[in-house]
């Protein structure tokens, strides 16, 4: 049960029941402090302040004596006091309650608590065109706590988007519905980014805000601000605990992303129960320490006026991102579940749905939205059309004044066409690039691309000189230079990845990349997968791709990473052997806006092959050489990737010379891409007549997954070691002579 | 070049050159603020405060006018002023410089900056016995910025550990040396945990401190504190940026781990360059917001007295962890590299090594340690022996007063023997457990184990009710109850994993587990790998292991996770089909202290098989049923894991009945374990006479990696979808009829 105290002497005091304890919150020194005590039912006495956050900000409040007066209701919680606003807010709440109830799945609690803040934001501030969810200059909205997806669906429905329809909402969570358990951008226009994994939305929102800042700096003039919008997100207690959100918030503060505005739905309940089981941060101080403006609302259930004021205050500070802390009640209005973990992931059951209706005075049938609410909200259809129309006029003015920039804007941002010349740039670069580490090749190609592709932007997680990812002459993206193209992500691989996905999902033609050592994709894996699922076709540059990196040892030497990335859907794991193949890797990424392309590059030098092929690499695998007589199949096939193509080429030379074997060498930079090819092409490279028993794979990595193509492996199925690269390659047996030995066995020629 | 200003009117002001800018730092309001300006060489004027940290704590300092006086030296940096301390400190520095130089690899900069703080800690405070690195009650020391490993090797050598020897140090980074590029606990006693991936050491240190607190609560009496030690760590700017460190620090503050003391080596340089490229947090506020005591040192290069005071202050506060912020100069003493990113990962070259020797007044030959330093430091051999002797006497008193507890202590903590009865508990539990979700089975088994294994401790990343990981009646581990056994990790998967590894690597007999959904191992993957590499045999419980989890949709449905975990060395990925196999999974983990065992468990009910086998499961795979006549091989073999064993069993029934086929059903809960078995056993389960072309694998996950055992798959090679579990299994084709169809094809019986 929920109780509110109108205490004139303490206007911001809220009392509520909280897993058996009565909680008092009061605004003090700009931050919300929690005060807890035990109370007799209906009576509120001896409120003693408990610990919350840093010890410095915690102090003992004077004792408060409060009794259940007319202002306190244990049954009918106080709502906003604005009858029409309550009607709208409860429309959101009951769409969530009814949909979850019908689906017998989903999370009703969060939408019930977040409805007032979300309504305030969407109704008064969010700029969008419901009939064109892709309008370029719309505000972006991200629900980082994606399990409360019904909040977003209710908003999209009320405000006049074509999807979800009421039928979609009625089939919430059912197979085939676009109203899925978590918002999925690839199913539902109006959903900017996919969320669910906690914290991910915060980081993706930072990416959206970076894209906005960068495009604004690229295109805006003082008179024509073509790209000028806010990015809003809602984060939960769970998001607040995830490291990825901390990384992203720190970088956002560093970059001073003033148009990024977050709401912290501070309901103090996570899945396990009260947050104080595991969390007692002073969130206000923490976000201030990141250089955020922090604004605290006293009561997010009732105080929509202050939510409005907070949004306006947040909008005004263009030098810092803002976090608005909104204490809400999870499951607001449910007599049984409010403020309890049971509001989190359980449907209420029909009795409790009924009781909640009574408690909030909701007289409408399931899925019924009051006419006046719909009418009010759908004014946004006209408003949104007008906003877009005004923006179109702005674009026309811009075109007449800045025709060249406008042409770029239209091609890149509107039509999302890649800049012409990228393929020539890649091929030219490949042609003039000799034998060198593929990470160096990659650096040259990135710079070649940057010269012709203004849409490029990206960087590394503090390994730029090692990853060779710096774009020379393009500056460091910073609070003072949003036009610059080198992102400095800091040592924050997870946030980097989600931010890069967010830049891509801004869906304005940018071509973002990020980079780290291959091993440290492990830090980013959750966000990498989310990018792949979200069809955010980012380019992920990884270097130091095998034990050949040498001295840094097993903590830095990838073994299972290629396999584990190949196993991930919607990712092309691309391991080029030289410049021609590296160019193909970039081409693959430029061509596929909806696929993650991960390049695995060497630290050490590799040879440029005379017979390596851009076109062949773009089919995933191809024949590098074959000394079999015409019409005859080879005795053995040697398959290599990346730096190990050199190894199999040398092994093939040995076998052809010393053993008079017919040997085919296949380079397979991208297994997944090869599997996309038709059966005839696959057969032309790996004929069934040369079965797996006569094929050898060499890759300085786990053999896991290679059984599909060969029975013999020169691979590494254990952790690495410290030592010089060449010594390690020898120690782990990644040598031409070992490949040749296995090949002789495979060819039945003895050892 | 480095310059120091002795300004009597501003005792805490430090001026230093910082990538071309001169930096002024001053202590103000308990926090260090940076002031930057440009200065004429040798002159320090018009110091203007730049932005650092939250805007609230930044203000404009009065202008400072300072000229190069006697107190300022651009060439000879001020050292501690204590000649003998400098001798010791420089011994550490030059071991690092000389080793890195000889290896032509490694990071000299961090050890040179950290030497004063590390010397102060090790010399005056750290309690250890060099001749018994495993003495149970030693203080734990963790170098989270593991790339500065030479610091730790120098300390171990100076203070009299048997390893590394001087020869080891001279072969730093060479293949076979125990002085590897990053500290590796599995190579070198005295290294508590393996570090290198940034931030990981902070989280592992939290685990060590939790183990200390828990064992203290289990065993200590007011008179006999058997387990009573500090855990110290050093973290770098890079560690400070990683999300895993943020998660761990937040939890440590929440838990009030007062014996955890960290040093932040605040040298403001990361690999890319000055930290202000990507980082401008107010670290003081941030850690205070986590409920840490924060102590700032003005100058970590010179002020070892204040470092001492800070350590003592940190030791005194037993209610909060402490962070000591120590501004240091990376590459201290190197004329060319000090305060530059080049100090980070590059050997100096002989000229610069010479110049550094001159600059610091170091007269000794490479790898030469002054006699008096060795003599001084190695007093710790005697001291350490005495400490352990005193502790042994304490243990004797404890034994006489508390014989029962002492017996447990000796068995568990000293001898590290598992509690007797665990296997009976598992088998009894399996016997009485019927058909249910394997996550429920697991919950029952954890509780059965907890009843007989006082060494158990663990929990979930805020999914305890879903992961079924709560130990009933054992309380929540909290600042008020360190004896409790349920860890509440919060939504912090990465920190949870590293913390759990840290508990294990406390090496005192604890049996720690952690838990989340299988999908969210992605957040933890880097730390999971590190645990595997470190031979930290934790039990990782994952539930909701396939699309059958249903409505939560593709963000929550693992596809590639089983494959990507099977590819990881030193991990047993164990997917039981029922209670007998689940018991085997736990047994596997209990038996292997050096292997990560990851259990993949269902959300949905599975059938308990009549023929499932604990012993069979402990061989990784076994025959569940086979209707072939004696001495005949089956026509087809169906292989299933986990919930899909039910599917293949039903398919086999169909094939035997309708198609009169001889069908073998194999359950393979653990591919890696099966691969550990001898060839004869493997042949007995999967005979070569029934080749892959006559085998079908069914697993509701990626087929990646299964080609080793079969050519036919009923698997899922794409992302999941929202919907009801059974509907999804049907949609993705994970059905007995699909398996039967593939089996008919495999058996050559047409469709």
What DSSP letter does each residue of A648-677 carry, written as one string?
HHHHHHHHHHHS---EEEEE-S-HHHHHHS
Q: Out of B74-78, B411-415, B444-448, which region has the weakest mean confidence (pLDDT)?
A: B74-78
Mean pLDDT of A278-282: 97
For residue A722, the chain B residues in CB contact (below 8 A) are 173-175, 177, 180-181, 184
Q: Which residues of A carry a binding-site annotation for thiamine diphosphate?
A: 147, 196-198, 238, 267, 344, 520
Q: Which residue of B has its CA nearest to A273?
A: B462
Mean pLDDT of A701-727: 98
Whole-angstrom distance, CA of residue A137 vs CA of residue A227 = 6
Q: Give the list of residues 6+ apart from residue B565 with CB closer than 8 angstroms, or none.
A: B521, B571, B573, B598
Whole-angstrom distance, CA of residue A58 vs CA of residue A33 = 7
pLDDT of A719 strictly over 60:
yes
Neighbours of B689 (CB within 10 A): 10
Percent of chain B with pLDDT over 70: 90
Whole-angstrom distance, CA of residue A78 vs CA of residue A303 = 10
Mean pLDDT of A363-384: 98
Distance from CA of B490 to the nearest CA of A (A): 5
Write down the pLDDT at residue B76.
Answer: 82
Please tell me which of the candidates A271, A465, A555 has its beta carbon nearest to residue B196. Answer: A555
Contact between A288 and B56 using a beta-carbon 8 Å cutoff? yes
Q: Which residue of B has its CA nearest to A280?
A: B254
Catalytic residue of the set B493, B581, B644, B672: B493
pLDDT of B13 strictly over 50:
no
Mean pLDDT of B128-150: 98
Mean pLDDT of A288-311: 97
Q: Token pair for residue A331? A: 């499951």
Please tell me which of the candidates A103, A272, A488 has its beta carbon nearest to residue B462. Answer: A272
Write down the pLDDT at residue A75.
Answer: 64
pLDDT digits (tens, 9 = 90+) for A621-647: 999 999 999 999 999 999 999 999 999
Q: Could you tell me if B9 and B15 are in contact, meaning their C-beta atoms sit under 8 angstroms apart?
A: no
For residue A270, the chain B residues in CB contact (below 8 A) are 462, 490-491
Whole-angstrom distance, CA of residue B37 vs CA of residue B18 = 10
Write down the pLDDT at residue A146.
Answer: 97
Higher-pLDDT residue of B737 and A51 is: B737
- Name the phi and psi angles at B532, rounded to 5: -65, -45
Contact between A175 and B728 using a beta-carbon 8 Å cutoff? yes
Whole-angstrom distance, CA of residue B466 vs CA of residue B450 = 19
Write down the pLDDT at residue A51.
Answer: 34
Q: Which residues of B carry a binding-site annotation for substrate?
A: 107, 344, 439, 466, 544, 552, 556, 603
Tell me the average pLDDT of chain A. Answer: 91
Contact between B564 and A564 using a beta-carbon 8 Å cutoff? yes
Neighbours of B476 (CB within 10 A): 19
**pLDDT band at A328, cuts 50/70/90?**
very high
For residue B536, the chain A residues in CB contact (below 8 A) are none
For residue B244, the chain A residues in CB contact (below 8 A) are 243, 523
Higher-pLDDT residue of B583 and A44 is: B583
Mean pLDDT of A108-123: 97
Query: How many CA atoms are closer than 13 Å to the CA of B224, on its beta-carbon side?
Result: 21
**pLDDT band at B345, cuts 50/70/90?**
confident
Residues in chain B: 751
Q: Could you tell me if B633 and B689 are in contact, meaning their C-beta atoms sit under 8 angstroms apart?
A: yes
Contact between A250 and B533 using a beta-carbon 8 Å cutoff? no
- Find which of B289, B547, B594 to mutate to test the A interface (most A CBs within 10 Å of its CB): B289
Domains of chain B with bracketed CATH? 14-67 (no CATH), 83-382 (3.40.50.970), 383-414 (no CATH), 422-606 (3.40.50.970), 621-746 (3.40.50.920)
Q: Give the list of residues 6+ apart from residue B726 with CB closer than 8 angstroms, or none.
A: B548
Q: Could you tell me if B445 and B583 are in contact, meaning their C-beta atoms sit under 8 angstroms apart?
A: yes
pLDDT of B39 strictly over 60:
no
- Find which of B204, B273, B480, B522 to mutate to test the A interface (most A CBs within 10 Å of its CB): B522
Whole-angstrom distance, CA of residue A114 vs CA of residue A653 = 68
Relative to beta strand B31-37, strand B48-49 is antiparallel
Q: Which residues of A carry a binding-site annotation for Mg(2+)?
A: 237, 267, 269
pLDDT digits (tens, 9 = 90+) for B558-600: 999 999 999 999 999 999 999 999 999 999 999 999 999 999 9
pLDDT of A298 strictly over 90:
yes
Residues of A with catalytic function: 493
Please tell me which of the candidates A279, A526, A570 has its beta carbon nearest to residue B250. Answer: A279
Please tell me which of the candidates A237, A281, A529 has its beta carbon nearest to residue B522. Answer: A529
Mean pLDDT of A369-389: 98
Mean pLDDT of A657-671: 97
């Amino acid at each position: 049960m929920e109780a509110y105290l109108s205490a004139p002497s303490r206007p911001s005091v809220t009392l509520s029941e909280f897993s058996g304890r009565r909680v008092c919150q009061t605004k003090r020194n700009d931050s919300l402090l929690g005060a807890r005590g035990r109370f007799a039912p209906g009576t509120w006495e001896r409120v003693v302040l408990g610990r919350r956050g840093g010890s410095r900000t915690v102090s003992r409040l004077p004792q408060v004596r409060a009794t259940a007066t007319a202002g306190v209701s244990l049954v009918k919680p106080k709502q906003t006091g604005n009858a029409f606003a309550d009607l709208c807010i409860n429309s959101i709440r009951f769409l969530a309650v009814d949909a979850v109830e019908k689906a017998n799945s989903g999370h009703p609690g969060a939408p019930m608590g977040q409805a007032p803040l979300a309504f305030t934001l969407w109704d008064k501030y969010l700029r969008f065109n419901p009939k064109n969810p892709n309008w370029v200059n719309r505000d972006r909205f991200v629900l980082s706590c994606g399990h409360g997806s019904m909040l977003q669906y209710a908003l999209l429905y009320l405000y006049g988007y074509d999807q979800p329809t009421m039928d979609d909402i009625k089939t919430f969570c059912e197979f085939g519905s676009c109203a899925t358990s978590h918002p999925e951008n690839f199913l539902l226009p109006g959903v900017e980014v996919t969320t669910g994994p906690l914290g991910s939305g915060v980081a993706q929102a930072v990416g959206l805000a970076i894209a906005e800042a960068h495009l604004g700096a690229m295109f805006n003039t003082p008179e024509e601000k073509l790209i000028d919008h806010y990015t809003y997100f809602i984060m939960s207690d769970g998001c607040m605990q995830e490291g990825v959100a901390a990384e992203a918030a720190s970088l956002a503060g560093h970059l001073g992303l003033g148009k990024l505005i977050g709401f912290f739905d501070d309901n103090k309940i996570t899945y396990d129960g009260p947050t104080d089981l595991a969390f007692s941060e002073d969130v206000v101080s923490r976000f201030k320490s990141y250089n955020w403006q922090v604004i605290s609302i006293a009561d997010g259930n009732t105080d929509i006026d202050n939510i409005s004021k907070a949004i306006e205050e947040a909008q005004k500070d263009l030098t810092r991102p803002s976090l608005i802390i909104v204490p809400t009640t999870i499951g607001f209005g449910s007599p049984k579940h409010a403020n309890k973990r049971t509001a989190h992931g359980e449907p209420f059951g029909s009795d409790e749905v009924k009781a909640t209706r009574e408690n909030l005075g909701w007289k409408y049938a399931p899925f019924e939205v009051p006419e006046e609410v719909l009418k009010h909200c759908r004014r946004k259809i006209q408003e949104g059309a007008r906003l877009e129309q005004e923006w179109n006029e702005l674009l026309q003015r811009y075109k007449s004044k800045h025709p060249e920039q406008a042409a770029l804007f239209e091609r890149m941002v509107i039509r999302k066409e890649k800049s012409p010349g990228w393929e020539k740039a890649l091929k030219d670069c490949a042609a003039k690039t000799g034998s060198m580490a593929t990470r160096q090749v990659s650096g040259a190609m990135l710079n070649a691309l940057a010269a012709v592709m203004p849409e490029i932007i990206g960087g590394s997680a503090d390994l730029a000189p090692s990853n060779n990812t710096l774009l020379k002459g393009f500056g460091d993206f910073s609070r003072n230079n949003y036009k610059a193209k080198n992102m400095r992500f800091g040592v924050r691989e997870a946030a980097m990845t989600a931010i890069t996905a967010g830049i891509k999902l801004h869906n304005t033609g940018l071509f973002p990349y990020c980079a780290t050592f291959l091993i440290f994709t492990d830090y980013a894996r959750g966000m990498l997968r989310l990018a792949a699922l979200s069809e955010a076709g980012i380019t992920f540059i990884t270097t130091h791709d095998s034990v050949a990196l040498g001295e840094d040892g097993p903590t830095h030497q990838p073994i299972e990473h290629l396999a584990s990335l190949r196993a991930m859907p919607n990712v092309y794991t691309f391991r080029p052997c030289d410049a021609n193949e590296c160019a193909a890797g970039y081409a693959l990424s430029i061509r596929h806006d909806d696929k993650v392309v991960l390049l695995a590059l060497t630290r050490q030098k590799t040879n440029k092959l005379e017979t390596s092929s851009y076109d062949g690499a773009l089919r995933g695998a191809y024949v590098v050489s074959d000394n079999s007589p015409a019409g005859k199949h080879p005795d053995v096939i040697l398959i290599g990737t990346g730096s190990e193509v050199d190894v199999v080429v040398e092994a093939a030379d040995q076998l052809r010379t010393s053993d008079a074997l017919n040997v085919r060498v296949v380079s397979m930079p991208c297994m997944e891409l090869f599997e996309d090819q038709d059966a005839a092409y696959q057969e032309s490279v790996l004929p069934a007549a040369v079965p797996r028993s006569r094929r050898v794979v060499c890759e300085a990595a786990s053999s896991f997954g290679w059984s599909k193509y060969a029975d013999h492996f020169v691979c590494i199925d254990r952790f690495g070691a410290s030592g010089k690269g060449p010594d390690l390659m020898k120690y782990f047996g990644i040598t031409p002579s070992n490949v040749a030995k296995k090949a002789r066995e495979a060819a039945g020629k003895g050892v």
